[in-house]
């Protein structure tokens, strides 16, 4: 909208042509501000196939299989959430398994990996490249991805507080995929939600599943 000054009346007035153009753009669904890179989520009905791909946090280490977050998320959403988490997997391991997941043609992939890379002191550049390549394979197959941030054991962990590895935010922005941040870091920062120093207990997995469910609702994946 363009404002002009009517000097005679000493008032601000709106140029009608510019106003009409702006309103037309709004009605047409065109943003008159900066464009957003945020991906548009598509509602997935009950019984949709969703694959949770990752490491021990996805597998549910420290709890029983029905207490892992994929099982809990399935009960909340009505989706068929397949648990493709493998204990100890690095980003390279997950990348090597990606073709098998693509072949299953899921409606959505929940991708969480990278914590073991940090523990094994793998270069963040390598981890980022592996996760990016994994996402690239899903994008090539038109399979949407929600990236899940995992903790980075920086100096803050000495004070009992984990924080997200910064690579996830960069990857999500660059690859234009949704990012669910902070929740694993919140779990690992709370002794009541952990089975050991780096894994949740049943309460921790439920905390994560409930948070992810809320995020997926906000994004439009589930109603």
Encode pLDDT of 81-121 as tens digits.
Answer: 999 999 999 999 999 999 999 999 999 999 999 999 999 99
**Is 44 domain-assigned?**
no
Q: Which two tokens stand for residue 54?
A: 């990752």
Measured in whole angstroms, how far is the alpha carbon of residue 200 from the centre of its chain? 19
Residues 28 and 106 grouped into a single domain:
no
Residues 29 and 3 grouped into a single domain:
yes
**Is 42 domain-assigned?**
no
User: Coil, strand or helix: which one is 80?
Assistant: strand
Non-local CB neighbours of 167 within 8 Å, separated by 6+ positions: 114, 124, 127, 128, 131
Q: What CATH number did the domain enclosing 156 receive?
A: 3.40.50.1110
- CA dihedral over 81, 84, 88, 94, signed as positive or negative: negative
Going along 113-155, which residue ranges are E strands? 145-148, 151-152
pTM score: 0.81
Cα 197 from Cα 212, distance rounded (Å):
22
Per-residue pLDDT tens over the stretch 169-203: 999 999 999 999 999 999 999 999 999 988 999 99
Structurally, the chain folds into a number of domains equal to: 2
Nearest to 48 by CA among 144, 112, 139: 144
**Is 158 domain-assigned?**
yes
Residues 105 and 215 grouped into a single domain:
yes
Domain membership of residue 83 as a residue range: 49-219
Beta bridge partners of 112: 54
Phi, psi of 72 (to 5 degrees): -65, -40
pLDDT at residue number 154: 58
Evaluate if residue 3 carries a pLDDT over 60: no
**Is 189 domain-assigned?**
yes
Pair 162, 185: CB distance under 8 Å: yes
Pair 58, 47: CB distance under 8 Å: no
Residues 77 and 160 grouped into a single domain:
yes
Evaluate if residue 28 carries a pLDDT over 90: no
Per-residue pLDDT tens over the stretch 131-173: 999 999 999 999 999 999 999 865 555 456 888 999 999 999 9
Residues 120 and 150 grouped into a single domain:
yes
**Is 113 domain-assigned?**
yes
- CA dihedral over 201, 88, 48, 164, signed as positive or negative: positive
């Amino acid at each position: 909208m363009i404002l002009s000054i009517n000097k005679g009346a000493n008032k601000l007035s709106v140029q009608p042509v510019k106003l009409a153009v702006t309103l037309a753009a709004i009605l047409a669904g065109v943003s008159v501000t900066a464009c957003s890179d945020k991906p548009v989520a598509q509602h997935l009905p009950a019984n949709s196939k969703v694959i949770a791909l990752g490491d021990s946090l996805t597998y549910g280490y420290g709890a029983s299989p029905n207490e892992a977050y994929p099982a809990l998320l399935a009960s909340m959403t009505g989706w068929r959430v397949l648990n493709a988490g493998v204990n100890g997997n690095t980003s390279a391991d997950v990348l090597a398994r990606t073709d098998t997941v693509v072949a299953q043609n899921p409606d959505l992939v929940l991708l969480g990996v990278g914590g073991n890379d940090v523990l094994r002191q793998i270069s963040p550049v390598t981890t980022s490249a592996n996760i990016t390549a994994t996402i690239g394979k899903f994008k090539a197959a038109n399979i949407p991805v929600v990236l899940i941030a995992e903790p980075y054991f920086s100096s803050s962990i000495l004070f009992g507080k984990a924080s997200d590895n910064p690579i996830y935010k960069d990857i999500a922005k660059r690859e234009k995929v949704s990012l669910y941040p902070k929740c694993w870091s919140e779990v690992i920062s709370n002794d009541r939600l952990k089975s050991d120093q780096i894994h949740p207990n049943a309460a921790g997995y439920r905390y994560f599943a409930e948070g992810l469910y809320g995020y997926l609702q906000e994004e439009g994946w589930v109603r």
